Amino acid sequence: MLRYILLTVIVGLSLAERLTSPHFEEFMSVHGRSYESEEEHNSRYWTFYKNMLQVDLLNKLEQGSATYGMTQFSDMTTEEFKALYSRPISEKDLFYADMMPEAEDVEEEFYNNDEVDWRTEGAVTPVKNQGQCGSCWAFSTTGNIEGRWFIKTGDLISLSEQELVDCDKVDYGCEGGLPFQAYAEVMRLGGLVKESDYKYKGVEKKCHMDKSKVVATVTGREQVSTNEKTIAAYVAKNGPVSIGINANMMQFYEGGVAHPRKYLCKPSELDHGVLIAGYGTDGGDPYWLVKNSWGPSWGEEGYYRVYRGDGTCGVNKMVTSAIV
């Protein structure tokens, strides 16, 4: 639907209008872009221009307060963006996730929190950057374990995603993976080491984990409810949780509470692993506070606020946590 509307807009433009993109030089400067040939420059110029037309439509169609605009991904086609930064989560994956033990019911008192932000409690490490490696699952996994470990011990430790990329034998490194599988692999490996002891490279390498340097361990794993009130209560009690999300609207997200129409962000098409770090309300819009792994220059200093309460973009479809 969106592509049809976009095509209609483009066809209605004059040639001069199609070849004019006053913000492209700004984009190149801000994001440090340079291209090897005039042909590549022109191709990226045209892609950027079409993307900006799409951005205009997204802003008009947005139901929340989110705005869309120029991001570091603005010279990439949708296909390129998805190939590098998302990996489809299948119905089979969801089936296996559903076979995990269910989390125990949360006490009633935790349902009464209007706002939770685990960053202010010291349970969330700074936003990281997965680079051009499909390792979002590893960042979602470590973010969850970092938070749970902090709540248990009082120590916030930045844990190694590269250990998972290299040493997890069930998931696929830079080709994707699933947090609920990674929890089991962390148990098999004996735990996670510090980020500083096994630094992130963004490419798959041979496993060289030193088990004597393990600083955080996992004793189990569980699935959380698909009911968003229950998820919120779980987050209030237990800390950040790993989720799957449809990243379709994230390529051009700038800020605000994203509440896209379902045909633009189908809840059944999960393809990205992120971390719910809290929740709140802004201008009457309830939202999830989502920590992403595309660096602090993306979104709201690396965070995505997405509407809470109606399963927007599938935020409630695959919610899991390690037990530490």
- Split the chain (324 residues) into runs of 10 and give each run's mean pLDDT: 49 43 84 92 94 95 97 95 91 90 94 96 98 96 98 98 98 95 98 98 96 98 97 98 97 98 96 98 97 97 98 98 98
Q: Which residues pair with 281 in a beta bridge?
A: 286
Residues 224-231: contacts with CB within 8 Å, 24+ apart? Answer: 224/103, 224/319, 224/320, 224/321, 225/102, 225/103, 225/316, 225/319, 226/311, 226/316, 226/317, 226/319, 227/316, 228/308, 228/309, 228/311, 228/315, 228/316, 229/111, 230/106, 231/276, 231/316, 231/319
H/E element holding 320?
strand 319-323
The residue segments making up the domain with residue 170 are 87-323
Catalytic residue among 174, 246, 248, 272: 272
Residues 52 and 94 in one domain: no
Give the per-residue pLDDT at 20.
47
The Cα 103–Cα 220 span in angstroms is 11
9 burial (CB, 10 Å; 0-12 / 13-18 / 19+) is: middle
Q: Nearest Cα to 147, choosing from 55, 61, 198, 218?
A: 218
The Cα 26–Cα 5 span in angstroms is 27
DSSP class of residue 197 equals: G
Could you give the count of Cα atoms lying within 13 Å of 161 in the half-sphere of its Cβ?
31
Q: What is the CATH number of the domain that holds 178?
A: 3.90.70.10
Q: Is 207 a catalytic residue?
A: no
Is residue 302 within 8 Å of residue 161, measured between CB atoms? Answer: no
Q: Is residue 92 part of a domain?
A: yes
Give the per-residue pLDDT at 1.
56
Residues 138 and 207 in one domain: yes
Is residue 148 within 8 Å of residue 103, measured between CB atoms? Answer: no
Q: Is the dihedral of CA 73, 94, 149, 169 positive or negative?
A: negative
What's the domain count of the chain? 2
Q: Which residues contact 11 (CB under 8 A, 6 or more apart)?
A: none
Give the per-residue pLDDT at 104.
92
Give the per-residue pLDDT at 136.
97
The Cα 288–Cα 312 span in angstroms is 10
Residues 164 and 29 in one domain: no
Q: Hunting for tokens 């409810």 — which residue is that? A: 225
Residues 41 and 117 in one domain: no
Q: Is 292 a catalytic residue?
A: yes
Give the per-residue pLDDT at 22.
61
Residues 41 and 94 in one domain: no
Q: Is residue 80 part of a domain?
A: no
Residues 103 and 222 in one domain: yes
Q: Is residue 232 part of a domain?
A: yes
The Cα 102–Cα 3 span in angstroms is 40
Q: Is residue 72 part of a domain?
A: no
Q: Is residue 7 part of a domain?
A: yes
- Chain centroid, CA 160 distance in Å: 17
Residues 32 and 170 in one domain: no
Q: Which residues pair with 67 in a beta bridge?
A: 255
Catalytic residue among 136, 174, 265, 313: 136
Q: Is 174 a catalytic residue?
A: no
Residues 185 and 291 in one domain: yes
Q: Is residue 292 part of a domain?
A: yes
Q: Is residue 31 part of a domain?
A: yes
Where among 22, 44, 61 does a domain terminate? 61
Residues 50 and 159 in one domain: no
Residues 172 and 308 in one domain: yes
Could you give the count of Cα atoms lying within 13 Å of 167 in the half-sphere of its Cβ?
23
Give the per-residue pLDDT at 12.
47
Is residue 171 within 8 Å of residue 137, measured between CB atoms? Answer: yes
Where among 61, 78, 104 does a domain terminate? 61
Give the per-residue pLDDT at 23.
84
Q: Is residue 30 part of a domain?
A: yes
Residues 173 and 304 in one domain: yes
Give the DSSP per-residue string, 255-277.
ESEE---TTTS-TT---EEEEEE
Residues 288 and 181 in one domain: yes
The Cα 163–Cα 202 span in angstroms is 11
Catalytic residue among 51, 292, 313, 316: 292
Termini Cα distance of the chain: 45
